[in-house]
């Protein structure tokens, strides 16, 4: 795999990453990103880009922090299901609010 940048256009907002990040262990083998052809240039994904930064951070680090405002949690959960990120879906389902009002979710 190449470390060349991959451009994801999510609902009109461009995100730059690498194929390695999108195929990371955090993503799992059945994720939306597992079988994409990253050699064809910009990839358009017809989804709301609002919480994609959280999805991408989870793929990069196997960990993501986000505010516990109910709406954000629900949107991330919905997008994690769409992208086939089973580990993240499971963790969001089990997470409890910590003292700071943020969720801190790790892949393992």
Spell out the domains of the chain, with CATH numbers in brackets.
Answer: 5-106 (3.30.710.10)
b/e burial code for range 66-78 (CB count within 10 A of at least 16 → b): beeeeebbebbbe
pLDDT for 55 equals 97
Residue 97's pLDDT is what?
46
CA-to-CA separations, 75 to 2, 5, 97, in angstroms, rounded: 31, 26, 16
Which position has the higher pLDDT, 44 or 105? Answer: 44
pTM: 0.82
Distance CA 103, CA 39 (A): 35
Percent of the chain with pLDDT over 90: 58
């Amino acid at each position: 795999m190449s470390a060349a940048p991959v451009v994801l256009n999510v609902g009109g907002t461009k995100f730059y990453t690498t194929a390695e990040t999108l195929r990371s262990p955090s993503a799992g083998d059945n994720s939306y990103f597992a079988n994409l052809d990253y050699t064809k240039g910009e990839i358009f994904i017809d989804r709301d880009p609002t919480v994609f930064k959280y999805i991408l951070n989870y793929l990069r680090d196997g960990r993501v922090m986000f505010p516990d405002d109910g709406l954000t949690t629900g949107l991330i959960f919905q997008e994690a299901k769409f992208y086939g990120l089973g580990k993240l879906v499971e963790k969001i389902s089990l997470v409890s609010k910590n003292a700071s009002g943020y969720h801190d979710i790790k892949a393992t």
